Amino acid sequence: MDFSGKRALVIGAGRSGQAAVGKLEKLGAEVFLTDAQPIDKLEGVEDLGLDQVHCFFGEMPEFKAVRPERVILSPGVSPKQKLIETALAEGVPVWSEVELALQDVSAFKVGVTGTNGKTTTTTLVGELAKRTGRKTVVAGNIGVALSSRAEGMGPEDIVVAELSSFQLEFIDKVRLHVAIFLNLTPDHLDRHGTVEAYLEAKARIFKNQTKEDLAILNGDDPLVRSLAPRLKAKVLFFSPTRVLDEGIGLSGDAIIYAENGEKTVVMRRQELKLRGSHNLENVMATIGAARFLGLSWEEIREGLKSFQGVEHRQEIVGTFDGILFVNDSKGTNTDAAAKAVLAFDEPMVLLAGGKNKGLDFHEFMKLVKQRVKSLVLLGMAAAEMEQAARDEGVKRILRANSFEEGVEIAIREAESGDAVLLSPACTSWDMFRSYEERGELFKKLVRKHYRT
């Protein structure tokens, strides 16, 4: 990548944008940075050392004010903004931060996408990759910018990247040696418009693969499975519902790897610490990647057996007065929240709400009616969720004016033997900067209530 002396504009001044600025400066670019937020709401920006001439905060500049030769997008930035549309019309290359981070990195690259399960799978693949003895970096949508971690990684090293549809929209030449597509359910329709457009954005994870690479697909997901005929890489399917003649499947409680007519029992389902049938998808996809990396069955088995899960994804906060508290703040859509609800057998108090992403809540509320004894709603989507809940016959619905009040209401509703689950089915952006911040506050409030 030749950026020496080129004018590069980074749009979005969060973690990814700041990491992109750092890499561009090392590459010798003249760097400009813009963000729709005012500078007093942006942490860490002043530490970058950019002067006022190169910074535009509170509003986007006109294209002619910067005349960039490259544009780098942070994941949360919509490509429908005038500045970006002008850049594209002018023929200026527009890249995601992922492209900037990885295009010149020679490491073995594993990419993970899908609507749900990305963080768990990325973390799990990363843990198993470390068992190869090779230097391994885990970054991307998982909360660590790739530009800050992947630099200098060589051909013997491994990069495991969680990749959202936002990040994949503007990749160009990045090649993933292993690309995992876990599942697809409606999400981010406020940005992509249709499920078909959302699918195509995620399918770009396979864009530069060759026949030497591996594509791991959910064989039970018709939209994901439909991509197989057009892929150049070797395709490996997984199914958490059946045995496959070729691929990774389930026979009773045994996870089976089938290849060239030979079937191997990798492990028994009850050996996993991860709850919920959806986690079988994550485990099976990980097995495919780990095998491609050259790990033995024993190494794979031991790595999977020891994995405890990830923070903010069905994370057990603790049991207090006989009540189980679960932090699933990363459940930012209805499908993810549904899987969390189904993962626990205890009578449940569900804390949900936040900012909607253009999703309909009615199907989710049918499940809530069946599995949830008390529904506590908060945030911008509370009224919309309450209406859907009433439409579907949910009886016990409570509203909270703040997150803190919502947690207290949920605690009051719960009895010994119950579970209190935070799984919002919405983003956190109406009240928090991130789902991590929301999850941390939930844990803090629960522990403070019980003085632990």
Q: Domains of the chain (ranges plus CATH)?
A: 7-92 (3.40.50.720), 101-305 (3.40.1190.10), 315-449 (3.90.190.20)
pTM comes to 0.79
Q: What is the pLDDT of residue 189?
A: 58
Q: What is the pLDDT of residue 414?
A: 97
Q: Is the dihedral of CA 16, 187, 315, 432 positive or negative?
A: positive
∠ CA 404-408-409, rounded to 5°: 115
* Residue (of 375, 383, 387, 380) closest to 423 by Cα position: 375
| 452 vs 318, higher pLDDT | 318
Q: 185 — phi, psi (to 5°)?
A: -135, 160
- Does residue 191 carry a pLDDT above 80? no
Helix 382-391 to helix 362-371 angle, to the nearest 10 degrees?
70
Confidence category of residue 419, pLDDT binned at 50, 70, 90: very high
- Neighbour-count burial of 194, counting CB atoms closer than 10 A to its CB (0-12 exposed, 13-18 middle, 19+ buried): exposed
- Does residue 1 carry a pLDDT above 80? no
- Does residue 358 carry a pLDDT above 90? no
Mean pLDDT across the stretch 161-175?
93
Type of residue at 83: L
Q: What is the pLDDT of residue 190?
A: 62
**C-alpha distances in Å from residue 421, one per residue of 415, 418, 439:** 13, 10, 11
Tens digits of residue pLDDT in 322-350: 999 999 999 999 988 998 999 898 999 99
What does the alpha-carbon distance between residue 142 and residue 62 come to, in Å, rounded to a whole number? 32
* Residue (of 106, 20, 105) closest to 70 by Cα position: 20
- Does residue 183 carry a pLDDT above 80? yes
What does the alpha-carbon distance between residue 220 and residue 284 come to, in Å, rounded to a whole number? 12
Q: What is the pLDDT of residue 308?
A: 79
Q: Is the dihedral of CA 417, 326, 251, 272 positive or negative?
A: negative
**C-alpha distances in Å from residue 426, one per residue of 63, 105, 385, 411, 431:** 34, 35, 10, 21, 11
Judge contact between 413 and 349, C-beta under 8 A.
Answer: yes
- Does residue 212 carry a pLDDT above 90? yes
Residue that is written with structure tokens 């051909």 in the block = 155
Confidence category of residue 188, pLDDT binned at 50, 70, 90: low
Helix 118-130 to helix 278-292 angle, to the nearest 10 degrees?
30
Q: What is the pLDDT of residue 68?
A: 96
Confidence category of residue 314, pLDDT binned at 50, 70, 90: confident
Q: What is the pLDDT of residue 263?
A: 95
* Residue (of 8, 183, 207, 165) closest to 79 by Cα position: 165
- Does residue 153 carry a pLDDT above 70? yes
- Neighbour-count burial of 367, counting CB atoms closer than 10 A to its CB (0-12 exposed, 13-18 middle, 19+ buried): middle
Mean pLDDT across the stretch 114-134?
94
- Does residue 298 carry a pLDDT above 70? yes
Q: What is the pLDDT of residue 44?
A: 84
Give me 263's structure tokens: 């079937």
Give me 110's structure tokens: 């594993």
Q: What is the pLDDT of residue 215?
A: 98
What is the DSSP secondary structure assignment for residue 276, as one 8-state letter?
S
- Does residue 52 carry a pLDDT above 80? no
| 414 vs 195, higher pLDDT | 414
- Does residue 310 carry a pLDDT above 90? no
* Residue (of 234, 253, 231) closest to 243 by Cα position: 253
* Residue (of 232, 234, 233, 230) closest to 247 by Cα position: 234
What does the alpha-carbon distance between residue 296 and residue 265 come to, in Å, rounded to a whole number? 13
* Residue (of 39, 30, 24) closest to 67 by Cα position: 30
Lowest mean pLDDT among 178-182, 202-206, 259-263, 372-376: 259-263
Instruction: Please tell me the number of Cα atoms within 13 Å of 416 on its side-chain side.
Output: 2
Instruction: Please tell me the number of Cα atoms within 13 Å of 289 on its side-chain side.
Output: 37
